[in-house]
A and B are shown apart, each in its own frame.
Chain A
């Protein structure tokens, strides 16, 4: 399963929304994810990929695609290491 699919699974489970409506352009507001959903999604993704996502970085995410891109970049870094 790709990084994007795994994160889509996590977000849909936490925010209780259908996976099919989450696109890379979806904002957290559109996904009806409140601030606690976002924190829980960050925690779940950090655990799933064994990475850390600083709040300062997370605050820059405009949409689901930004979230995925950040995690992809971090997992790629980890693979190189």
Chain B
């Protein structure tokens, strides 16, 4: 698998799954645009680690919840590079509340960043991918199909993201662009700490048949595969990375043999 000479934009790549994905693609020769929203130092640290792998890294700040900022980000990419091969829609946010407390502001914030941004970014990315056999991967979560406490707004936004992935996958075929999603269960990231603090996630080791939590690298590996030519015939799919959790709700965790 090689992405030499290609350029990827990974939104929200200062931390967690976005950072792991950026580094994975970079390790396979891809130049990377590191997008961040509020924490410049994390984005710059990712960029430094990417450059250490011998490829180019560019940092762009943009709140993908704001259409004007999305346009500005893609204007910068168009001016600096003029092309794009891979777009990974990873940036996500959300308001963790019981559904009766989800007000218009919380709903819009979550949907804008997690779902609307994907549509607007792909519309811009597609123009930069013309004639380049581009690939798009969105990062979803199992909360799109299973119910987790206080996860309603985010879960619904991820369901929209997955539906958009299917529609885009088909409508982008004439443009030669492949679109898929990767969906993970609880991943060991900073974002998960909120759910642990609130007591919603206790010990994922016990609930994952494989006996350990999903790591950002587990997700990144699948993203890289979906971006490769080997995944050419996979279209509009949501690939689940959860160590078997979703297919075995009644199987005790921690069964992996060393």
Task: Determine the chain A residues whose CB is within 8 A of the CB of B38 once the complex forms.
Answer: 42-43, 46, 52, 55
Q: Which residue of chain A has the shortest Cβ distance to B37 in the bound complex?
A: A43
Interface 1/0 per residue, A50-68 and B, CB below 8 Å: 0010110000000000000
Interface 1/0 per residue, B65-88 and A, CB below 8 Å: 000000000000000000000000
Interface of A is mostly: helix
Q: A36 within 8 Å of B by Cβ?
A: yes
B106 touches A36 (CB 8 A): yes
- The distance in angstroms between the C-alpha atoms of A75 and B31, with both chains bound, is 35
Q: Which residue of chain A has the shortest Cβ distance to B93 in the bound complex?
A: A39
Interface 1/0 per residue, A15-44 and B, CB below 8 Å: 000000000000000000001110010110
In the complex with contacts A36-B95, A43-B63, A54-B39 CB distance below 8 A: yes
B63 touches A36 (CB 8 A): no
Q: How far is the CB of B68 from chain A (nearest CB, A)?
A: 11
- The distance in angstroms between the C-alpha atoms of A52 and B105, with both chains bound, is 23
**Which of B38, B40, B95, B106 counts the most chain A CB atoms within 10 A?**
B38
Q: How far is the CB of A69 from chain B (nearest CB, A)?
A: 20
Task: Determine the chain A residues whose CB is within 8 A of the CB of B106 once the complex forms.
Answer: 36
- The distance in angstroms between the C-alpha atoms of A37 and B109, with both chains bound, is 11
A52 touches B95 (CB 8 A): no
Q: Which residue of chain A has the shortest Cβ distance to B101 in the bound complex?
A: A34
Which B residues, 202 to 228, have Cβ-Cβ distances below 8 Å to chain A? none
> Contact residues of B with A, CB < 8 Å?
38-40, 63, 95, 105-106, 109
